[in-house]
A and B are shown apart, each in its own frame.
Chain A
Amino acid sequence: MIASNISRKDQMRELFDQGKYFKLVCGAGNEDAEEVRRLSTIYTLAGASGLDVSASPEIVKACKEGINFAYSISDELGIELGHIPFIKVSVGMPGDHHVRKAFIIDSCVACDLCIPVCPTNAIPDSLVIIREKCIGCGLCEVACPPKIDAIRYEHNGKDIKALLPQCLEAGAENIELHAAVIDNSMIMEEWEIVSQSQPDHFISMCVDRLNLSDKNLITRINNAYEIAGDRLMIQADGVPMGGTGDDYNTTLQAVAIADLIQRKLKNKDKKFKDLPILLSGGTNSKTAALAGMSDIDFCGIAIGTHARSLVQEHVDSFIHNVDFESDLINLKSAVKVARSLVDTI
C-alpha cells in the first residue's frame, strides 16, 4: 500500500488529473452483499481506484470487507496495491433507472425470454425477480413481448438524509446523485443534502440525456456547481446500465455526452476548466480509445455491466464455493481478467 501524507480528496484529484480513475460500478441497485464483497476484492486487486455501491450501510460494509481482504492477500498473490479504492454510494430520485426494481405482473405468460437477458441473473425459473440482484436496467422489459407487457417497476425509495451519514460511517467516502429525472428543483433539494453530507470531498452528479435536453443538462450542471463549487464531479452517463457489448457503438453515447459537457462548459467557462468528467453508461474496453481519438478530457471511466460480466463466472463459482478466501487460483484468474479492463485507461 502506498503511504501518503496527502488528503484522500487530493489523492482523488491526482488520479483525476492523470485521467486514470477507474471505478467499478457494482450497481446502485445491487444489494447482494456477497457479490459486492467479491467484486470489490477482485477489482481492488486489479487496480481499481474506486468502487460504486448501493447506498446501504450493509453493502458499504461488504465492499469494505472485500477491499480489506484484497489487501490482506495481495502479497501472497504477488500484487502491489496503491491507494485504497474510494467507496462511493449512489442515490437517485424516483423515476431514475438506477434506483428502481423490476417485478413481473400476472399477465406474464412464462415465455422465459427475460431470463437469459438479465445481466445479474436476477430472474430465476420461478419468474419472481430477486430484488437484491435487480439493478433496474430494463433489459427484461425490452425482452418482454409488447403484447404481454409484464414488467413493472417500483422505486427503491430511501431517506437519504438519514441514510448517507450511516453509509459514510460504514466506510463510504463519496456520494453520487443520479440526477437524470426532469424535475430540477427536486434534484437540487437532494443535491443540497448530498453536499451537506460530505462537505470536504468530491461529490458526484450523474447525468444522462434520456429525459434531459442538452440545454437542460448544462443548466443542471451549472446549478450543481453553485452548490458544490470545486467539489463537483460529473459522471457523464451515456446509456445507463447499457454496457452489454464490448464495442465502439456501445460506448458512443458516453463519449458523446462527455464531449457535450466539454464543449459547453470546460472549454467555455473558466470555472469548469478542471471539472472532472467520469465516463459511464455503456463503457467498456473501447471507451478510452474512443474518448482519446475524440479529444475528450476525461478524469476516468466508470464501468458497470461490462466489468461485472467479465468476472461473473468467477464470482458465481466463488458463490458456489464456500471456501472463497482460500480459492486463490480462481481469484488470481479473475483478477487477471479484471486487470485487462482496468489497464485500458
Chain B
Amino acid sequence: MELTKQFYKDLDSKILLEATLPLEYESNELLLRNLSCILTLAGITSFDISANPESVKYVNEGIKDAFIINKDLNEGINNNPFIKISFGALNPLKEQYYHLGSDDKLFSKSFIEKNLSACIEKGSQIIELHVGNMDDEQFLSIWKIINELSQDGLISINLNRVFKSNAHLVNLIKKAYEINRNKPILQIDGATSKGKVESYSDSLQSLATADILIKELKIKEKKRFRKMYIILCGDINTKTNALALICNIEYSGLSLGHHYMNSHFSFLNGELNQKKLVEDMDRVHFLLPKVKDYLKKFRMLKK
C-alpha cells in the first residue's frame, strides 16, 4: 500500500520522470545494471522495460548499486525508482511485439500469469498493457488477468491513436476502469521522429491525444476519472513541457522513449559495458554530472 501511495504522490507532484530502457539492452546484465544505476543516481523515478524477468532482476540490482554509491556521494536519492514492465500488443510504430514470444504465447493466460508473476517476484511493481492493435475483447481479457496479478493494483494502459479512433479509445478506457477500480493511469504514446533535432511537433500527437482524453474523461466523466493521471511518452523531448503549457495540457509525468534514450544518451555508449559502476567510481564521477544535466531539462513539469 505504501508503494501505491508513493507512486500516486509522484504523480500528484508531477515529478514522475521515467526512462524506457533500450530494447537492445534486453537481458544484458552489465548494461542494464549500469544504466539503471546511473539513471537512479541522476534522479529518474521510474524505469520502463519489457516484461522479461531477467531484465527486471538486472535493473533491480542496478538500483541497489545506486543506493550503495549514494552512501558515498550523498546524491540525495531517497525512494527507489519504480520498475514498470511493459507488455502487450503489437507496437505499431516498431512493427514488433513488446513482449517476446509467439502470438499464442502472448495471449495465453498461463503464459502471461507465469511470466508477469516472475517479473513481479524479481522486483517490478507496475504493469503496463499496450493497447496497440488489440481488439477490445482481447485487451479486456488480458487487462482482467493483470488486474488480478497486481497486488497493489498499479496497472496502466499505454495507448495511441494509430489503430483506435477517439471514440473507440474513450469507450475502451471506460470499460477497463470498470474492471480496475484504482485511479486511472494512462501512458499516452505519440509519434516517432528520426534524428536528434528536437522540435515542438515531436510531442504534438501525444499531447493532442491527452487533450481528447482529458476532455472526454476527466472533465465529462468526473465521477470515475476526476483523478486520472496522464504520462506522456513517444517522442517526449525538452520542448514537450513548453508545448504542454501553452496548450494547457496537464500531465503527471514524462516517459523518455527508446529512440530518445538512444539518440540523446549516446555519450553513455562504451561507458557502461566495462565493469560494474559500483566498482568503478571514477566513471561514476565522470558520467553522473552529464546525465544529471540532461535530466534537469525535464524537471519543469509544473506551471
Chain A residues proximal to chain B, CB less than 8 Å: 142, 209-216, 247-249, 252-253, 255-257, 259-260, 263, 290, 293-296
25 A–B contacts, CB within 8 A, in A order: A209-B166, A210-B166, A210-B167, A211-B167, A212-B165, A213-B161, A213-B165, A213-B168, A215-B162, A215-B163, A248-B246, A252-B204, A252-B211, A252-B249, A253-B208, A253-B212, A256-B204, A256-B205, A256-B208, A257-B208, A263-B191, A293-B200, A294-B200, A295-B199, A295-B200
Contact A295 to B247, CB < 8 A, known contacts A209-B165, A214-B161, A252-B208: no
CA distance in complex: A293, B199 (Å): 8
B162 lies within 8 A of A249 (CB): no
Contact residue among B164, B204, B208, B248 (Cβ-Cβ distance under 8 Å from A213): B164
11 more contacts with CB within 8 A, not counting A248-B248, A255-B204, are A210-B165, A211-B166, A213-B162, A215-B163, A216-B165, A249-B247, A253-B211, A263-B191, A290-B247, A294-B204, A295-B200
B165 lies within 8 A of A252 (CB): no
Q: Does B201 contact A (CB under 8 A)?
A: yes
* Nearest 3 interchain pairs by C-beta: A256-B208, A294-B201, A249-B248
CA distance in complex: A216, B92 (Å): 13
Q: Does B126 contact A (CB under 8 A)?
A: no
Chain A residues with CB under 8 A of B165: 209-213, 216
Select from chain B the residue with minimum beta-carbon distance to A208.
Answer: B166
Chain B residues proximal to chain A, CB less than 8 Å: 92, 160-168, 191, 199-201, 204-205, 207-208, 211-212, 220, 246-249
CA distance in complex: A215, B163 (Å): 6
Binding site of A, secondary structure by majority: helix, strand, loop or mixed? helix
**A-B pairs with CB below 8 Å: how many?**
68
Select from chain B the residue with minimum beta-carbon distance to A257.
Answer: B208
CA distance in complex: A252, B201 (Å): 11
Q: Quote the shortest CB–CB distance from A141 to chain B (angstroms).
A: 11
CA distance in complex: A263, B204 (Å): 12
Chain A residues with CB under 8 A of B166: 209-211
Chain B residues with CB under 8 A of A263: 191
Contact A248 to B247, CB < 8 A, known contacts A215-B162, A293-B200, A295-B199: yes
